[in-house]
Amino acid sequence: MKIKNRKTRIIGVVLLIILIIVVLFVRAHIRIQNGDLVKWEGKWYTKEELKDTFPPQYIEVPAKNTPEEVYATFRQALLDNDIETALGEIKDSEREKYQKIFSDPELLK
């Protein structure tokens, strides 16, 4: 009777340990899915630890001009029929597309 009771206790303790491990794993998985845990360079961080360890870096970049100034220059260039100046105000990735559009003589009449 003692041996059977002892085996039952051992099995119960082992199952309890396995259950605790599973619960901790599921909890960690849920925190990872929610973004509360982040792995960075091989180490796990919470959101707060990540902010403390790697604070945001702010870089002051002086603006060349405001959107209002760009619009005013662009509009005036179009009114003056100065396509090159107007294209100079468009960002590089879009410039070729607008160059094709502005090359249409019917558009500028």
pLDDT, residue 6, reads 86
**What's the one-letter identity of residue 5?**
N
pLDDT at 34 over 90: no
Q: Is the pTM of this model over 0.75?
A: no
- DSSP string across 25-69: HHHHHHHHHHTSEEEETTEEEEHHHHHHHS---------SS-HHH
pLDDT at 11 over 90: yes
Q: With left for phi above 0 and alpha for psi between -120 and 50, is residue 57 left, alpha or beta?
A: beta
Enumerate the domain spans of the chain. 2-53, 67-102
Span 19-33, pLDDT tens digits: 999 999 999 888 888
Cα–Cα dist 42/33, whole Å? 18
pLDDT at 46 over 80: yes
